[in-house]
Structure 1
Amino acid sequence: MVKLESVLQFAAGDERYERINAFPVTVYAKDGTGRYLAGNHCISRLAGLSSVSDLLDKTDRELCWGASFDTLIANDHEVMDRGEALFRIEPVVDALGHAVNMLSLKLPVQNLAAECVGVLGISLNPLDYRASDFFDMVAQIAQSFGAKQDLPQFAQAGAAPVVDAREILLKRLTPREQDCVRCLVKGMSAKETAQVLNLSYRTIEVYFEKIKSKLGVHKKTEILSLLYDNEALLLNETSFK
């Protein structure tokens, strides 16, 4: 849980502001109607705005990813209703017109009356960074808002990644397919995966087609979404035989 007072102090430019701006992730806070209360330089650039002040009091509907408003506000309300931090994959379109599936951690924001009145969000493109690097950044930023205890286990600083994929992966995928997924979670491209597994690029692509079919998804980013939603990150115990 994040205190509203902490969010407003950040928005006013307290000692955390420049430090958080150094992270290559979007950091933002919204109230219960979806209006932005705070943000960092990264989200203003993503939205094509000249400054963070141009973001304040706007909703997602008024930004370049306005078509995703219903999805984003629904995720915000889910976090507020449940009163706990949640990871979600959120589709947006950036200022250049590029479609991006952002991995977002959203935490509930609470006022002095202990009411959930908004969310604090930390987001990035999961294909740009290794999952472990993202979770390290998430932990540092969330802790600066006093939210360590609210983080899922695998996103806490120093926590071992959760490895529990029996229902999602181990019962559905072959050992080699699991290796491919582990490489994907670690941020490796298909070419890098082929090198690590000592297989051809074409073979790796065939494996991913089989993985998508078995998991009922159509894109690699949807594989990541499925993993994050179920805390099955598979960052350890890779066989690579």
Structure 2
Amino acid sequence: MSALTLATRDSSTMVRRQLKRLVRYPSMTVQLILTPVVILVVFVYVFGGALGDGLGGGRGAYIDYVVPGVLLMAVATAATGTAVMVATDMTEGVIARFRTMRISRASVLTGHVVGAVVQQLLGMAAVIGVALAMGFDPNATAVEWLAAAGLLTLFVIAVTWLSVALGMRSSTPEAASNAPMPLILLPFLGSGFVPTDSMPTVLRWFAEYQPFTPVMETVRGLLLGTPIGNSAAIATAWCIGIAAVSYLWARHTFNRT
């Protein structure tokens, strides 16, 4: 049996392990879905009227504007759970037992990443479903929906590899739960909830050049027809760069432990 075949077989086993973990312990998945949904409901029904007036369309305009930001917040929130699961495996001796077995090293990380990506895509699908029920009204074609889904999947992969690396570098699961927390702030400190041109100069500069903003602007443009400009290229570059650096960081850490 070739090395590639073994790696594929072992990776599928590790993916099944992660998916079974999600099924047996659904509380984390439910929490990761409920948090962005609650934020969506609060911002739309509590602040949406006033903030939507600034966009020139009331609450209906605001829910269209805010959904991409909430989607990325769902990804950032899920990163905490991924980091905790990785840190738990690293500190409870599971990884040490895997090392004594004839399995592909890459399969361990692959299992975490694929399992987390599936979890996060399901979470984003739930957020979109709730948003549609609340009045979210995209005008995207099937191709634009696929493009938006592709970019969001690429973003999820990038953030997942980053959370895996952070989890591996954490000394305890408790420390891992805090490591990805700054990611949750980035939709707020970007164009997720209000346009960047309404911010003070220094904050506006940060908001326009941080990695979440071009992703949100691209998704917003694909689903709602707003101008995209060069945001798509910048968003793709950010996602690929974060994924590549985080993958190398995670692999290096895993090989050293």
Q: TM-score of the superposition, structure 1-length normalised?
A: 0.27
Q: Say which structure is richer in helix.
A: 2
Q: TM-score of the superposition, structure 2-length normalised?
A: 0.25
Q: Say which structure is richer in strand.
A: 1
State the structure with bigger RCO (CA 8 A, min sep 6), 1 or 2.
2
